[in-house]
Amino acid sequence: MNNNLVLIKNYQKEITILGQNLALLEWDQLTYMPPMGVNSRSEQISLLSNLIHKKMISNELFTSLTALKKQKLSNKDGLMVKKLYKEVSKSRKLPEKYIKELSKTTSLAYTAWELARKEKRFKKFQPYLEKIIKLKKQECNYINEPGHEYNSLLDQYEEGMTVEKLKSVFSKLKKDLINLLNKIKDSSNYKKQKNSMLKQHFSIEKQRNICEDVIKRMGLLNGFSRLDLTTHPFSQKIGIDDVRMATNFRESPLFSFESTMHEAGHALYEFNLPKEDAYNILGNAPSLGIHESQSIFWENMIGKQKYFWQFYFPLFKKEFNLKGDFNQWFKEVNYVKPGLVRIESDELTYCLHIILRFELELGLIEGSIKVLDLPNLWNKKMREFLGVTPNNDVNGVLQDVHWSGGSFGYFPTYAIGTIYSSQLYKQLLKERPFVEEKIRKGNFREIILWLDKNIYKPGNKLTAEEIIKKTCGDGLDPKVFIDYLTKKYSEIYEI
């Protein structure tokens, strides 16, 4: 075999295994690690992160990739080299001095963000965010993707997506969502709705039992997955045949149930990515948007439909002694309520939270928005989009951790994934209309087989947009999502 090919495959395997060890440390920190272990754990994480970065920018790896680009390779190896070369080249554009400064700044920024939230004062976080914005502008100059400077940040998470395209998509999406939301709020049924079935005590033990039941039906068995408890739900791939999920139990059982389905969607995707490419770039997800499409698909496109609840409502009613009928419960599951907090929002208003952040990020990177003005601009957009105003910075501009970690260009992938999920759902029902009856009986096998063929198997051989276009006939299409919401909520609220 070609020596350079062997070398880059070995590098990728080492980087993957180091990353899996890093994932294990992070999973442990968020689940079982004693609180006093945080300082030691930060040292361990820092060391592994630095080792991974050094391997990615290695001259030996880059030289081999450069040589391979000039050679005749199989289609698969050629694609692997092309994708890895792009990723390595991008990493090598960032000076080590910059990486260290960003790492140090974000570490301090996270602590400042926590303090700002505790004191409900954005100004405590402001100087750190200003420095992060400055560093992210430098990063845009280093990466220098074509078009808008923000493309250099967006491309890290959603390869091939651009500001120019998102502006068009989000402009239509925002207008249509606000129009539909206003129609619902003006309806007589909306004003009369009372969420009485959710106002009672729900046993945590019984919540856990139902969460474990749904992930097993989704195909995540104890042999290669586990469900644990954490503050903020997440999922993590630790290795081949090892995926971890964590949820949280609150007053309403819907939070744990929906968040568990969401994280199980992520875990299913990671578990079913092509194992023959487990140690190279082709075995990765092509984007965060496609990853998010899998979690939203299960949480909303499956988990909020009538036939799904025709199976699970009797179980909920029995376990929690619910007082009310199916129609009342289904309306409560799908209750539309514009709120302040993104992670607690319903499926109709969720993308408005994302578009708000996208517009602010663009302004910050372009320089048309000053960090000082963020709280007021945030509140203004919340009133404009959702008709609600945060009563403090914790429920407003300080609610997300992402900016403290320098994750600019990340938020749009949530909305992209949401749109993709609606397109996949429409295509699934078109190709396999009988799947509704299967779901009504608690059988999700047909869904998994369809996803395996269309989403899991391609891995990173295609971009997210190419996968959706090949599966659904078109790329990112907000109209499909709006049509889905309009049909569903017009029936629920009789508008």
CB atoms within 10 A of CB 345: 19
Q: Same domain, yes or no, for 80 and 202?
A: no
**pLDDT tens digits for range 5-23:** 999 999 999 999 999 999 9
pLDDT of 46 strictly over 90: no
Question: Is the model's pLDDT at 195 over the cut of 80?
Answer: no
Over range 267-274, report the average pLDDT.
98
Is position 338 within any domain? yes
Across 32-46, 98-112, 369-383, the highest mean pLDDT is recorded for: 369-383
Q: For position 303, what pLDDT does the model report?
A: 98
Quickly state the pLDDT bin for 41 (edges 50, 70, 90): confident
Q: Is position 119 within any domain?
A: no
For residues 58 and 169, membership in a common domain is answered with no
pLDDT above 90 coverage of the chain, percent: 87
97 lies in some domain: no
Count of domains for the chain: 2
- pLDDT for the residue numbered 448: 97
pLDDT computed for residue 295 by the predictor = 97
Residue 390's domain is classified under what CATH number? 1.10.1370.30
- Whether 99 is in a domain gets the answer no
Residues 301, 449, single domain; the answer is yes
> Average pLDDT of 84-103?
92
Give the model's pLDDT for residue 100.
85
- 155 and 86 within one domain: no
Is the model's pLDDT at 307 over the cut of 80? yes
Q: Tell me: do 200 and 319 sit in the same domain.
A: yes
Are 69 and 215 part of one and the same domain?
Answer: no
Residue 413 and residue 270 share a domain: yes
More confident residue, 231 or 426: 426
In a domain, 15, yes or no: yes
27, 61, 92 - which closes a domain = 92
- Domain membership of residue 357 (yes or no) is yes
User: How far apart (Å, rounded) are the C-alpha atoms in residues 118 and 129?
Assistant: 17
pLDDT at position 103 is: 85
Higher-pLDDT residue of 200 and 363 is: 363
- Tell me, yes or no, whether 312 and 199 share the same domain: yes
Residues 365 and 267 in one domain: yes
Are 481 and 425 in contact by the 8 Å Cβ rule? The answer is no
| Domain finish residue from 55, 74, 92 | 92
Cβ-based neighbour number of residue 346 at 10 Å:
17
In-domain check, residue 83? yes
Of 150, 112, 101, the C-alpha closest to 367 is: 150
Whole-number pLDDT of residue 30 = 86
Answer yes or no: do 456 and 327 share one domain.
Answer: yes
Contact 335, 327 (CB under 8 A): no
Each residue's pLDDT tens digit, 458-494: 999 999 999 999 999 999 999 999 999 999 999 999 9
Q: Which residues have a catalytic role annotated?
A: 263
In a domain, 401, yes or no: yes
Q: What pTM, to 2 d.p., does this model score?
A: 0.95
Among 131-145, 219-233, 273-287, the range scoring the smallest mean pLDDT is 219-233
Assess whether 59 and 153 both reside in one domain. Answer: no
For residue 194, pLDDT beyond 80: no
Domain that holds residue 44: 1-92
One domain for residues 228 and 353: yes
> Which domain-ending residue is among 92, 115, 134?
92
Query: How far is residue 415's CA from residue 392's CA, in Å, rounded to a whole number?
Result: 25
| Alpha carbon distance 333, 347 (integer Å) | 11
Separation between Cα atoms, residue 19 and residue 49, nearest integer Å: 8
pLDDT value of residue 196: 81
Our CA dihedral for 482, 484, 487, 489, rounded to 10 degrees, sits at -80
The CA dihedral of 259, 264, 269, 274, to the nearest 10 degrees, is: 160
Please tell me the distance from the alpha carbon of residue 378 to that of residue 457, in angstroms, as a whole number.
Answer: 41
pLDDT band at 28 (very low <50, low <70, confident <90, very high): very high
pLDDT for position 32: 93
